[in-house]
Structure 1
Amino acid sequence: MPAPVRHVLFPGRHHLVTRFQTAHLHRLLAGQVADADGVPVECAPDAGVVWAVTSATHSGTRRNPVPAHRREAMIERVATVEGLPSLVAPVADVPPSPRFARTVLASVELSTGVAATPDDTVVACSTPAVVAMYADLGFRVVPVEDAPRPDDADAAPLRPWDVLELLAAGDDRWRDLAHPETVAYVDRYRLAEQVALIHADPTVSTEGDLTTTRDYRTYTAAFDDASDRKWDLVAPFVVPGRVVDLGCAAGGLLERAARDPRLAESDLYGVDVSRHLVAEAEHRRAQGVFANPNVFFAQRNLLRSAVFPPASVSTTFTVALTHEIASYGAGRADLELLARRIFEHTAPGGVWVCSDVLGPVEGDRPVHLALDGTGVGAEPTDLGGWSTPDVAAHVDALSPAERLVQFAQDFPALSGGACDVRWVADGVAELSLRAAAEFVYTRDYVDSWLSECHERFCDMTWPDWVALLEGVGFEVEPVSGSWRNEWLVENRLSVGAALRDAVTGDPVDWPDTHVTFVARRPL
C-alpha cells in the first residue's frame, strides 16, 4: 500500500477555479478518490495542495488572458474560503518540451521549498500529454474532470478553459460553474471585460502579437538604432503633459523623450500590442534605462477599446505604426477608427504626431522596374513551414529580379495586396507604381521576410491622410506633408533597381517615401 500523500500537485494555467475543482480537491484530501490505476489515495493529515500556475510570465493573449498575479490572488482567496491548505507556485512560460514536468517540479521547489517526489506526491491533472510526463517520472496521477463517473451521473464537468470560453462569449453559465469566490474576484477586477476583449481581437495572434514570423531581436535592434533619428523628427512638436507612444516597441523613443528637459514633469506612456516588446520595455525600465521615473508601459490594442480617458492626452506619437494597423486589420477602416480613438483621448490643443511610410499618389500608374538579375523563367519557392533563418538565407541569395518573383507570390498571399508582374524583358518587369514601391520598400528585410510580406506600406497617400484627419475633427498643421528619404533612395531603392516610364522608357523619379504630420485637436 503506498505511503500517505503529503502533497497534491495541481498544475494548470488556472485562469478560473471551478466549483467542481474545489469539491474534488476536498474529496481527494479526505481519501475518497482513487488514482488513474484505481488505487485509493490516502492523504496525510497535514497534506496540502500545491497549485502550480503555469505560463506565469505570459499574459494579455488568448492563450493566457489573465495575468499571473491575478490568478495567484484568486487561488489564494478561494483556498482560504474553502479551508484548503494550499501553496501557489508560479511557473514561467516555456515552449513545448518533453521536460515540462521537470520544469514545473523545479519551479515549485524554488518558490515554495516543496521538493515533490513520487513517494509523497500525487499529481491532479486531466491533460493526457502532461499526465504521461508525470507518469514517466514515477508519479501517481489522479484524474480531475476526466475521472470515471457513475453511469447515472450528470455529464462530465467542464474544464476551467471551457468555462473561461463561456465567460469570453458572454454566456452567464460560467457564473454557475465557477467557484463563487472566483465569480466575485472576476467581477471585482473586471476580468470578464478584459478576457472578452482579448478573445475578440481579430488582429492579434493567440500568442499576443500581430505576427508569429517576426524576428523580435532584429526588429528591436533596428528600431533602437533609428530611435535618435525618429525622436529628432517628432520632438519639435511635442506638447508636455501626458505623452503617449503608441506602438512603442521596446521603448526606444520614450528613452529619448525621458531625457528631454521639457518633459521632466510629464508622464510618459508606452503602449504596444506585442507582449514580447512590452516585456522588453518593462525589463529596461527595471534596469533604470529611463531618466524620467514616470514612464509606464501597457500591452493594449487601441482599436479594441479606449486606453486613456477622453481629452486626457497632450501628445500621441505613432512612428512606423499606421501601416501595420492597416496591414493586420481592416485597412483604411481601422486607420479611421484609430484616428477617432486618438482624437477622443487628445486634450484640446493636444497633438497627434505621426511618421510612417507612404504610398505614391499615382499608385495605379504602370511603370517598368529594371532589376539586376534574371526574372524571366524564375519560379517562386513555397516557403510555408520554413524556419525564419532558412527563409532569410534563401531570400538573401536571390538576385533583385528573382526576389521580385518571390515577392509577387508572397506579398499577395500574406498581405492581400496586389503585385501583378509582367516581364517585358530579361530583368525588366512591368507593374503598377504602387506594387513597385511595395517591393523595393520590403525587399531588403530578409530576416523577417514573411512578416514584412504581410505588411502593406502603400495603402495611404498624403491626400488620403488629409481627408481622414480632417474627417474626424483634427486640424492638420502646415508643417505636415509627404517627403522622400534621400538616404533610402540612394542606399536601398536605387541599388540594383531603376524606375522607367512604361511607354517612353524615360527615367522616373522615386516617389515620396514617408509622411510626417502634426494633427491638432482644436481648442
Structure 2
Amino acid sequence: MPRHVLFPGRHHLLTRFQARYLADLLGGWLADDAGDPIHVAGDATVVWAVTSANHQNTRRNPIAAHRREAAIEQFSWREGLHSLVVPVVDVAPTDRFAEITLKNVRHATGRELTPDDTVVACSTPAVAALYRALGFRVAPVEQGEVTAPATPWQLLDRLAAGDDTWRRDAHPASVDVVDRYGLAEHVRMLAADPVVSGEGSLTDTRDYRTYSTSFEHAARRKWAQARPYVRPGRIVDVGCATGGMLELAAAEPGLAESDLFGIEVARHLFEECEHKKAQGAFANPNTFFHQRNVLAGRVFPDRTVDTTMTFALTHEIYSYGDGAADLRSFAATLAAHTAPGGVWINSDVCGPAEPDRPVRLRFHDGDVRTPAVDLTTVAARAHLDALPPGSRVAQFAQDFHGPFDYEVVDERTVQLSLRDAMEFLETMSYTDNWLSEMHETFCHFGWDDWVRLADSVGLTVDPRSGPWRNDWMVEHVFDPAAALTTPDGRALDWPDTHLLLVAGAPHEG
C-alpha cells in the first residue's frame, strides 16, 4: 500500500479544492487516471515538490519559494496532513523532469519514491505522462473533475488582474500568507510590467554570462567616471547588473556611512548580486539589492536619494519600452526621488549631433549586397564572425528592431543617415549577443536632447558633463571597418558616441 503522495507543482497558491481532494485521496475514495481505485496507507506522507524554487519576481514565478513553503506548512497543519516540502530548481524543458524531481526528493529527504510506494498527484497532462512512463500511478487532481474546479494558475491570474474572487477558491493558508506579506500588490506589479518578460528579463536571447563579464570588467572605469560627482548618503545604482559599481562604492572609506542600493530588473543579474552579497563581496554591510523595474512604479520615496547612477541603462529603457515617453517617465521618477542638492549621474551611448545628415560608409572589406539569413536556423555567431563588416549590412537591416534605411551605392558603399551609420557601426561587432542587441537602439538621443530632458523634469545639467567620443572604438572598430564621408566623398570625423550627464536637483532655499 503506497506510503507517499508526490504532489509536484509550483504551488504559488493552494486551493480549497486541493484540500478536499487530498483528504479524499488519503481516505481511499478516489481513483487514478486509469479508473482504478487508489488506497494509500493511513499514515501516508504528502511530498510537496515545489518546482521553480529558485525563481521569483517574474510573471511566471512571482512568489518566492519560502513564501510558498510557508503556505504549504500552514495548509498541512490546518488539514491534518503529514507533509514534507522539497524545493526543486528550475530546469530547461526536458523529458527527464520527473526523474530530476525524484532525485531532488531523495537528496533532500533520503526517501526513494518508487511506483510501489508512491502515487503522483498531478493535473498537468504532459508532466503526468512523464511519471506514468516511469511506472507511477497518477491521481489527476483538477484534470479528473467534471465540475472543472479552479486551478492554482487560474487563481493567480485573477489575483494578478485585481479580481478578488481568487480569495473565494483559495485555501485560507494561501490567503493568509498573501495578505501578511503584501504579495497581492507584488504579483500585480509584476503582471503589469510593461518591459520585462515572463522570465524576468528584457530579452530571452541575451547570453548573461558574457553580459555579466563585460559589466564586471568595465566597473572600475565607470566608477572612476562617476566618483567625482557622487554625494554620500543614500546611493542608488539603477540597472546595477552584477553589482560591480556598488562593490567599489562599498570599499570607499568616504562612503562608509552611506546606504547602497542596487536595483536590477533582470532576474539572472539580480541573483548574481545576491550571490555575491552572500559571499561577502560588499565591504559596506548596508548594501541592499531589489529586483524591480523603475518604470513599473517608484522604488524610493520622494526627495530621499542623494545619488542615482545609471550606466548603460537609458538606451535599454528607450529600446524595450515606449521610446522617448518611457525615458521621460524614468527621468521624472529619478528627479522625484532625488533629495535637494542630490544628483543623477548617467553614462551611456549618445547619438550624433546631426542625426539626419546624409553620409556614406565605404567598407574596407565585404560586399554590402550579401543577403541576410534567418539566424535562428544557423549557428548565429559563427555565421556572423565569418562575414566582414560590409557583408553584415543586410543582416543588420533585417534583424534590427528600429528603423534602418540605406541605399547601395556599390558593392563596398552605402548611403544612409549619420544616425543609422552609427547604429550599425556601434552594434555590428556584438556577434555573441546579436539577436539580443538587435532590440537596442544606441543613437536615439543626442546631447541636446538629454539637456532638454533633464530640464523638463526639473534637473540642472552640470556644465562639466557632456558628450564624448570613444576613441578606442574609433581605433579598434570604426576605422578598421569603414571610412565615413559626405555623399560627394569628402572625409568626415567620427561623431560623439557617448555621454556623461550629471544633473542635479536644486538645493532648498
Same fold, TM-score > 0.5, yes or no: yes
Match of 1:225 among 207, 217, 236: 217
Amino acid in structure 2 at the alignment position of 1:341: T
Task: Give me the whole-angstrom Cα distance separating, in 2, the residues matched to 1:372 and 1:399.
Answer: 9
Deviation per CA, 1:58-93: give whole Å up to 9, x if none. 111111111111111111122212222211111111
The answer to whether 1:400 aligns with 2:374 is: no
The answer to whether 1:133 aligns with 2:122 is: no
Q: Which residue of 2 aligns with 1:253?
A: 245
Amino acid in structure 1 at the alignment position of 2:231: V
Amino acid in structure 2 at the alignment position of 1:304: A
Task: Give me the whole-angstrom Cα distance separating, in 2, the residues matched to 1:374 and 1:180.
Answer: 66
Give the C-alpha shift of residue 56 in structure 1.
Answer: 0.1
Amino acid in structure 2 at the alignment position of 1:481: G
Q: How does 1:241-280 map to 2 (within 5 A)?
A: 241-280=233-272
Q: How does 1:30-69 map to 2 (within 5 A)?
A: 30-69=27-66
Q: Which residue of 2 aligns with 1:71?
A: 68
Match of 2:314 among 314, 322, 327: 322
Task: Give me the whole-angstrom Cα distance separating, in 1, the residues matched to 2:368 and 2:109.
Answer: 65
Paired residue secondary structure (2:362): strand
Match of 1:506 among 490, 495, 501: 490
Q: Which residue of 1 aligns with 2:413?
A: 428
Give the C-alpha shift of residue 235 in structure 1.
Answer: 0.9
Q: Which residue of 1 aligns with 2:183?
A: 191
Give the C-alpha shift of residue 293 in structure 1.
Answer: 2.1
Give the C-alpha shift of residue 384 in structure 1.
Answer: 3.4
Of 91-100 and 373-382, the range deviating more from structure 2 = 373-382
Paired residue secondary structure (2:143): coil
Q: Which residue of 2 aligns with 1:104?
A: 101
Task: Give me the whole-angstrom Cα distance separating, in 2, the residues matched to 1:111 and 1:399.
Answer: 53
Give the C-alpha shift of residue 179 in structure 1.
Answer: 1.1
How many pairs does the alignment contain?
507
Q: Which residue of 2 aligns with 1:332?
A: 324
Amino acid in structure 2 at the alignment position of 1:277: L
Residues 1:466 and 1:377: Cα distance change in structure 2 (over 3 Å): closer
Amino acid in structure 2 at the alignment position of 1:354: N
CA contact (8 A) 1:375 1:423 kept: no
Q: How does 1:3-22 map to 2 (within 5 A)?
A: 3=1, 5-22=2-19
Give the C-alpha shift of residue 148 in structure 1.
Answer: 4.4
Q: Which residue of 2 aligns with 1:497?
A: 482
Amino acid in structure 2 at the alignment position of 1:360: P
Deviation per CA, 1:194-216: give whole Å up to 9, x if none. 11111111311111100111111
Paired residue secondary structure (2:490): coil
Paired residue secondary structure (2:214): helix
CA contact (8 A) 2:462 2:503 kept: yes
Match of 1:472 among 453, 457, 468: 457
Q: Which residue of 2 aligns with 1:441?
A: 426
Give the C-alpha shift of residue 374 in structure 1.
Answer: 3.9
Match of 2:301 among 297, 309, 314: 309
Q: How does 1:78-227 map to 2 (within 5 A)?
A: 78-149=75-146, 155-227=147-219
Amino acid in structure 1 at the alignment position of 2:493: D
CA contact (8 A) 2:239 2:265 kept: yes
Task: Give me the whole-angstrom Cα distance separating, in 2, the residues matched to 1:432 and 1:209.
Answer: 32
Deviation per CA, 1:469-518: give whole Å up to 9, x if none. 1111112111121111112211212112111011x311111111111011
Match of 1:459 among 426, 444, 450: 444
Deviation per CA, 1:376-416: give whole Å up to 9, x if none. 53211122355xxx1111111111111122112111xxx2x
Of 239-248 and 109-118, the range deviating more from structure 2 = 109-118
Amino acid in structure 2 at the alignment position of 1:91: V
Amino acid in structure 2 at the alignment position of 1:522: P
CA contact (8 A) 1:375 1:405 kept: no
Task: Give me the whole-angstrom Cα distance separating, in 2, the residues matched to 1:99 and 1:376.
Answer: 46
Unaligned 5+ residue runs, structure 1?
Answer: 150-154
Task: Give me the whole-angstrom Cα distance separating, in 1, the residues matched to 2:174 and 2:332.
Answer: 36
CA contact (8 A) 2:468 2:496 kept: yes
Paired residue secondary structure (2:162): coil
Q: Which residue of 1 aligns with 2:471?
A: 486
Of 291-300 and 96-105, the range deviating more from structure 2 = 291-300
CA contact (8 A) 1:145 1:156 kept: yes
Q: Which residue of 2 aligns with 1:284?
A: 276
CA contact (8 A) 1:10 1:125 kept: yes
CA contact (8 A) 1:123 1:141 kept: yes
Task: State the TM-score, normalizing by the size of structure 2.
Answer: 0.97
Residues 1:376 and 1:226: Cα distance change in structure 2 (over 3 Å): closer
Residues 1:376 and 1:514: Cα distance change in structure 2 (over 3 Å): closer
Amino acid in structure 1 at the alignment position of 2:192: A
Residues 1:56 and 1:164: Cα distance change in structure 2 (over 3 Å): same
Task: State the TM-score, normalizing by the size of structure 1.
Answer: 0.95
Deviation per CA, 1:264-320: give whole Å up to 9, x if none. 111211111110011112112222222222222121101001112222211111000
Of 62-71 and 103-112, the range deviating more from structure 2 = 103-112
CA contact (8 A) 1:51 1:86 kept: yes
CA contact (8 A) 2:312 2:349 kept: yes
Deviation per CA, 1:217-271: give whole Å up to 9, x if none. 1111111111111111111111111111111111111111111111111121111
Point out 4+ residue stretches in structure 1 off by more than 4 angstroms. none
Q: How does 1:322-361 map to 2 (within 5 A)?
A: 322-361=314-353
Task: Give me the whole-angstrom Cα distance separating, in 2, the residues matched to 1:23 and 1:242.
Answer: 51
Give the C-alpha shift of residue 94 in structure 1.
Answer: 0.9
Task: Give me the whole-angstrom Cα distance separating, in 1, the residues matched to 2:90 and 2:258.
Answer: 35
Give the C-alpha shift of residue 108 in structure 1.
Answer: 1.5
Paired residue secondary structure (1:494): helix
CA contact (8 A) 1:14 1:160 kept: yes
CA contact (8 A) 1:314 1:350 kept: yes
Q: Which residue of 2 aligns with 1:28?
A: 25
Deviation per CA, 1:345-396: give whole Å up to 9, x if none. 211111110100000121011100111234353211122355xxx1111111
